[in-house]
Structure 1
Amino acid sequence: MGIEVGGLLGLIWLVIVVWAIIKVAKSSAGGVAKLLWILALLLFPLIGLIVWFLLGPKG
C-alpha cells in the first residue's frame, strides 16, 4: 500500500511543479527572471515552489 500512495503523491508533486514551470513560462516577467525561476523550480523543487508561490510573478 505504501508504494502506491508514494507513487501517487510523487505524481501529484510532479504535476504541481510542471504547472508552476508553465505559469512561469507564460508570465510577463523578463527572460532572465523566467530562466532563474525555472532553474530554481528544477534544482530545488520544494523550496523553489514555496518561494515562487510567495514571491513569484503575479497575474
Structure 2
Amino acid sequence: MQLEYIWIGLAVILLLAELWAINVVLRSTSGWETKGLWLIILIFVPLFGLIAWAMFGPKREMPEQHRG
C-alpha cells in the first residue's frame, strides 16, 4: 500500500473527529463565549485543538432531550 493512501486515511479520520467535536461543542450547554473559544481552537489548530478539547473541554454537558 502506498504511503499517500495512509496519509489520506489519517486526514479523513482527523476530519471526522473534528466534525464530531464541533458538533458536541455546539450542542453543549456551555455559554457562547466558551463554545466560541473551543470552536476557534478546534478549527485553527486541528490536531492539538482536538487533543486539548478531549482533555480539558466540557464533559458531556448535553441539554435534556424531551420525549414526546
TM-score, with length taken from structure 2: 0.81
Which of the pair is proportionally richer in helix? 1
The 4+ residue runs of structure 1 with deviation greater than 2 A are: none
Percent of aligned pairs sharing the same letter? 37
TM-score, with length taken from structure 1: 0.92
State how 1:1-59 maps to structure 2 within 5 Å.
1-59=2-60
Larger Rg: 2
Q: Distance in 2 between matches of 1:51 and 1:4?
A: 27
Note the residue ranges of structure 1 that are not aligned, 5 or more in a row.
none
The question of whether the paired residues in 1 share the 8 Å contact of 2:14 and 2:47 is answered with: no
How far the C-alpha of 1:4 sits from its partner, in A, is 1.1
RMSD: 0.8
